[in-house]
Structure 1
């Protein structure tokens, strides 16, 4: 009987190092977004709506990697702050399609610049070419996995 291979030394595990990079990026994003009174999920929502106006709650949740319930809270908070609008009643079906307000677009620009600066700092040890290769190699891993189009969380 063949013994299954174990993860072994965590410092040699690509997945473990990826998780460390994710945690470092998340912490850096939290720090630059906090003065704008934004969370990372709120920023992700603004960024997605800035690129794709009119996305539904379900689609935003899927693309931001949060549950529909969590995204509903994110949307409600952003709407209360006047950063986005949603109709009171769905024009058809049940989806309340969200769009950024002018204040939302202004906040998104500020937040996007701050997040990009944090990302640049984190990846500064790598050359532009190394960053490009890393991005392409990680994208090929995602494309080969079932996470490429993740199912909606319950």
Structure 2
């Protein structure tokens, strides 16, 4: 009989989940002084790199539901960090862009998150960090519907 039990001490998936939880906790702590959550930061970062993304695109990029992203966008807009038109220029999507205050907060948040990532990878050589990125990308590809 084949043993199909997942052994947590040797499970790659469990180690990955532990790493994700530790990263999330460290990001939460780094963003807290800026009064940002991880989904809010992700939204700002996505818009900083790709202005005009729709709510659905932002939700996918931030790994939250569309309903959750609506709340994130509303809160960021109320803080004056985003501009969204009252009506869609075409279709139903409201293109969203950072305000100058949003861009300033994003710059500070990006530095805080980069410091977390630097701390996370501190024990790895540049080659090992590159290998880790490649290995994780291969795992994502293997589990993707098209993979």
What band does the TM-score fall into relative to the shorter chain?
Answer: over 0.9
Out of 68, 82, 85, the position equivalent to 1:84 is 82
Which residue number corresponds to residue 152 of structure 1? Answer: none
Out of 72, 75, 78, the position equivalent to 2:73 is 75
Q: TM-score, normalised by structure 1?
A: 0.90
In structure 2, do the counterparts of structure 1 residues 53 and 86 end up closer, same or farther at CA, with 3 Å as the change threshold? same
Give the Cα separation in 2 of the matches to 1:38 and 1:97: 21
Task: Trace 1:1-16 onto structure 2 (pairs within 5 A).
Answer: 3=2, 5-7=4-6, 9-16=7-14
Which residue number corresponds to residue 111 of structure 1? Answer: 109
In structure 2, do the counterparts of structure 1 residues 100 and 147 end up closer, same or farther at CA, with 3 Å as the change threshold? farther
Give the Cα separation in 2 of the matches to 1:11 and 1:3: 19
Is this contact kept in 2: 1:142–1:148, CA < 8 A? Answer: no
Task: Trace 1:52-67 onto structure 2 (pairs within 5 A).
Answer: 52-67=50-65
Deviations 1:117-151 (A, max 9, x none): 011112211111111100011101112222689xx
Q: TM-score, normalised by structure 2?
A: 0.95
In structure 2, do the counterparts of structure 1 residues 147 and 77 end up closer, same or farther at CA, with 3 Å as the change threshold? farther
Q: Mark the runs of 5 or more structure 2 residues left unpaired by the alignment.
A: none
Is this contact kept in 2: 1:28–1:118, CA < 8 A? Answer: yes
Is this contact kept in 2: 1:33–1:39, CA < 8 A? Answer: yes
Query: Which structure has the higher relative contact order (CA within 8 Å, separation 6+)?
Result: 1
* Count of aligned positions: 147
SS of residue in 1 equivalent to 2:61: helix
Task: Trace 1:18-57 onto structure 2 (pairs within 5 A).
Answer: 18-57=16-55
Aligned-residue Cα RMSD (Å) equals 1.6
Deviation (angstroms), 1:6: 2.1
Does residue 1:124 correspond to 2:122, yes or no?
yes
